[in-house]
Amino acid sequence: MAATEARIIRLLMELRRQGISDTRTLSAIERVPRDRFVADPFLDQAYENRALPIACGQTVSQPLIVGMMTQALEVTDRMKVLEVGTGSGYQAAVLAQLCRRVYTIERHKSLLVAAEARFRSLRIHNITSKVGDGARGWPEQAPFERIIVTAAAHDIPPLLVEQLQVGGIMVLPLGDTEQDLVRVVRTGDGIDIQHLGGVRFVPLVEGVPEE
């Protein structure tokens, strides 16, 4: 246990050095045991600042990117957040520490079932999940104060902008081989876009695969 705590402290110090200054974001990352969200062959790397592979060709995002995206969202404890791309469930678990409720969508049923089991085992009860096409969002629960997309889209998905309330923030990667993390704020007459830096994500794929 002491060795794990030391690795967590080292990771948090590295995130601070790389620009994650929001104390609530750092505290949320500290509270979520990343080793519960990585595949067994990579358990020794759970608290290293790197992305790790999971099933279905997906990854657990690098902690720095989780920190950047979470910090850029500026989540408060009264907010309803939509996540597109549940994956292992790690990002949703971090957000669940900060907001009222997370609604998360995953196109791979097997990934979602495993993520839901992790949420239950960690007693995280403010996450609602479903299998679906993330690019379509979750219109029945819209509008959302915040939206996070954990796969790279070619363009900002218009259906997600429609589901973002005015004044709300969406953070997502854009691009193909060259990807850029952007922060989108919905305004009364459109959107404002802020560029946060280069990233590398799996692509946002429309539709739901047969499994």
C-alpha pair distances (Å), 124 with each of 4, 32, 115, 143: 21, 10, 11, 23
Domain span holding position 69: 2-199
Let me know if 121 is a catalytic residue: no
Write out pLDDT tens, residues 18-27: 999 999 999 9
Residue 13 lies in a domain: yes
Share of the chain above pLDDT 90, in %: 85
Residue 175 lies in a domain: yes
Q: 57 pLDDT band (50/70/90 cuts)?
A: confident
**Residue holding tokens 């309803």?**
80
Residue 197 pLDDT > 70 = yes
pLDDT at 178: 87
In 3D, which of 183, 188, 136, 133 has the Cα closest to residue 165? 188
Split into its structural domains, the chain has a count of: 1
Residue 55 makes CB contacts below 8 A (sequence gap 6+) with 39, 108, 110, 111, 114
* 11 domain residue, yes or no: yes
Task: Please report whether residue 112 resides in a domain.
Answer: yes
The CATH number assigned to the domain holding 64 equals 3.40.50.150
Which of 21, 27, 61, 110 is the catalytic position?
61
> Alpha helices of 100-189 — where are they, by DSSP H?
109-121, 158-162
Instruction: Dig out the tokens for 74 from the structure.
Output: 């500026």
168 located within any domain? yes
> Per the domain annotation, does 32 fall within a domain?
yes
Q: With respect to residue 97, please indicate whether it lies within any of the assigned structural domains.
A: yes
- 44 part of a folded domain: yes
Phi, psi of 88 (to 5 degrees): -75, -20
